[in-house]
Structure 1
Amino acid sequence: MIVRDRPNLLKLFFILRGSVIQRIFPQVLFVFGLSAFVVWAHRFDPQIVPSVNSGPFALLGIALSVFLGFRNNACYDRWWEARKDWGQLIFTSRDLARQTLILDEADETSGKAARRRLLNLTIAFAHALVCHLRPGHHATRTLARMPDDLVPGYTASRNPPDFLLREMGRNLAGLRASGTVSDFQWTLLDGTVGKMSATLAACERIRNTPVPFGYTLLLHRTAYLFCFLLPFGFADALGWATPFVTALVAYTFFGLDALGDELEEPFGVLPNDLPIVALAETIEINLREALGEADLPPLPQPKNYMLM
């Protein structure tokens, strides 16, 4: 995710990091070249490339803008919902750290060990969720906070984050069976773990349910056809200004389309995707501090304006 102060007007036109121009530059350049060729051909022989009424293009452009706006709103809703889910996970993790303080009072030795195990599992869950949502991300941070006896089960599981939640539930059940916590305390702690499970399910739903492909395909095709046909409607009216106008229109439509693609997959590694690694590291730092650890790393900071 891009994290930076708003640039001044001059810098605004030259910023590349976080912009979609690098992804759509070949398409915009092609539209510019096609427009220049259409203008030249129209002036060279108007019978081969005749003038076309530009009225229908204006109506189609308005309709396409509305449809692109609807799609981008839908994609942004996915991005914002994913951010809210991770915000809820941060809150739930801190809440669990506070609620498990009762284990320190229940039994000075085994209670503290149980609390440390639960919070380490919570840290491992946050990092495991990153690996689950962002395939290819290395599980080193997850394994570093996980008890050694759970590593074989974790690596064999088809849903590693859910495996860790089941282990947390098993630990809480053991504490209730031993009388370390009361029924009310167990209900409270188990409910907090349940909120983490709800976050996992919500993130999986976003990752596994994309925007309907037919809708995306329709907008892709319409945007490309519109930009490729646009120079034929303005070659006579605008002359050699046509390539610049059509390139600007192509930048807008292709840019909105590309930005929607980025927001549709909020857990990816593109510049405008969510910084879930940084959020997981924030959870780790918060819970390690709750455990009384002093040698803590600094909170994640953007590098070259990017936070991943």
Structure 2
Amino acid sequence: MVVHPPSRPLRLMLFTLRGSIVPVIWKRVVGMMALAVLVVLVEHRLPHTGIEIGAVPLTLMGLTLAIFLGFRNSVAYERWWEARRLWGELLIVLRNLARQTLSLPDGLPQDEQRLRVHRLIAYAHALRHMLRGSAPEQDLARWLAPAEVAALLPSTNPPNALLGLIGESYAQLRREGRLDSILLASIDAQLSRMSYVLGGCERIHGTPIPFAYILLLHRTVYMYCLLLPFCLVGTVGWATPLMVGVLSYTFFGLDALGDQIESPFERLPNDLALDAMCRTIEISLGALLGEHDLPEPLQPVDGVLL
């Protein structure tokens, strides 16, 4: 996630590349400008070739393309925002469970309290690694017993397996008489919310925008940008490469930005800062345990927080 200072000077907004879509699309934009230069040269040296086709195709395609891009980027942003909302809910639920673990069971030793709270922290890390397709062993080993880590790694869904282990540990407290059934129901409601968060993240991660729609949009963007020089050369002349550069930057940029935020769990600059969120969970739950040697919040690197 791109992090910039609250005040955004004009120099920052015009020239910064941190979090910009320019590194992704600059080759395409330069290619279209080079084509525009070639079209302008042909038009001025061979003026009767009929290479200029007028602005009508540009107007008709531009309207359709703007509607396509607007709809697609709205859908992509909705996916990004829902993912952020789910992780915000996860933070709240884990704080609630940690507080209930420390205050509701009767006579629960401090080491067992810490064990259960550490499992909650491990759950956030397991979910992050599953969504990003990365190896969770190192993070899980920091918070779980070796036997629990060994039991979770073979699972196809480690967060769900860990959720089952967490639920069983609270049910065991009820069987031992250290947790009232009404209080267990309150804890189970929080566990159910964790399951809903997991399911929501799996839905976003496993259900992309239909490929046929994306393919149609990509092809339309390329066709529109390829037609730009032929439509503009008769009107703006030598300024055609500049106008093509501006317009192709806009349309290629919107297209590429939609691709990035469509999958909000990756490690691209405009994706969610899951590492930082997991660190926030570690700090919050560690503070509830009364620990003083807490890690510092993650800081942006080159303006990007992962």
Using structure 2 for the length normalisation, give the TM-score. Answer: 0.96
In the alignment, what sits opposite 1:225? Answer: 223
In the alignment, what sits opposite 2:142? Answer: 144
The question of whether the paired residues in 2 share the 8 Å contact of 1:103 and 1:115 is answered with: no
The question of whether the paired residues in 2 share the 8 Å contact of 1:72 and 1:256 is answered with: yes
2:204 to 203, 206, 213: 206
2:175 to 174, 177, 188: 177
Using structure 1 for the length normalisation, give the TM-score. Answer: 0.96
Superposition deviation, residue 177 in structure 1: 0.8
Superposition deviation, residue 118 in structure 1: 1.6
Superposition deviation, residue 46 in structure 1: 3.0
The question of whether the paired residues in 1 share the 8 Å contact of 2:36 and 2:240 is answered with: yes
Question: Aligned Cα RMSD in Å?
Answer: 1.3
Q: Distance in 1 between matches of 2:122 and 2:254?
A: 37
1:131 partner amino acid: H
In the alignment, what sits opposite 1:100? Answer: 101
Structure 1: 5+ residue stretches without partners: none
The question of whether the paired residues in 1 share the 8 Å contact of 2:69 and 2:254 is answered with: yes
The question of whether the paired residues in 2 share the 8 Å contact of 1:103 and 1:114 is answered with: no
Q: Distance in 2 between matches of 1:100 and 1:51?
A: 73
2:174 partner amino acid: R
In the alignment, what sits opposite 1:303? Answer: 301
| Runs of 4+ residues over 4 Å off in structure 1 | none
In the alignment, what sits opposite 1:15? Answer: 16
Q: Distance in 2 between matches of 1:121 and 1:156?
A: 18
Aligned CA distance change for structure 1 residues 49 and 40 (closer, same or farther; 3 Å): farther
Q: Distance in 2 between matches of 1:116 and 1:138?
A: 21
Matched, 1:3 2:3: yes
Q: Deviations over 1:195-217 (max 9, x none)?
A: 11111110010000001111111
1:276 to 264, 274, 277: 274
In the alignment, what sits opposite 1:62? Answer: 63
In the alignment, what sits opposite 1:30? Answer: 31
SS at match of 2:2: coil
The question of whether the paired residues in 1 share the 8 Å contact of 2:140 and 2:149 is answered with: no
Q: Distance in 2 between matches of 1:108 and 1:243?
A: 72
Q: Deviations over 1:26-71 (max 9, x none)?
A: 0000000001101111122234343212122112112211210110
In the alignment, what sits opposite 2:46? Answer: 45
2:71 partner amino acid: F
Moved more, 78-87 or 228-237: 228-237
1:2 partner amino acid: V
In the alignment, what sits opposite 1:88? Answer: 89
Note the 1:159-178 alignment, pairs <5 A. 159-178=157-176
Q: Deviations over 1:53-92 (max 9, x none)?
A: 2122112112211210110000000000000000000000
Count of aligned residue pairs for this structure pair: 305
Q: Distance in 2 between matches of 1:139 and 1:47?
A: 69
The question of whether the paired residues in 1 share the 8 Å contact of 2:30 and 2:245 is answered with: yes
Superposition deviation, residue 103 in structure 1: 4.4
Superposition deviation, residue 156 in structure 1: 1.1
In the alignment, what sits opposite 1:74? Answer: 75
The question of whether the paired residues in 1 share the 8 Å contact of 2:137 and 2:153 is answered with: no
The question of whether the paired residues in 2 share the 8 Å contact of 1:130 and 1:137 is answered with: no
Task: State the identity as a percent.
Answer: 42
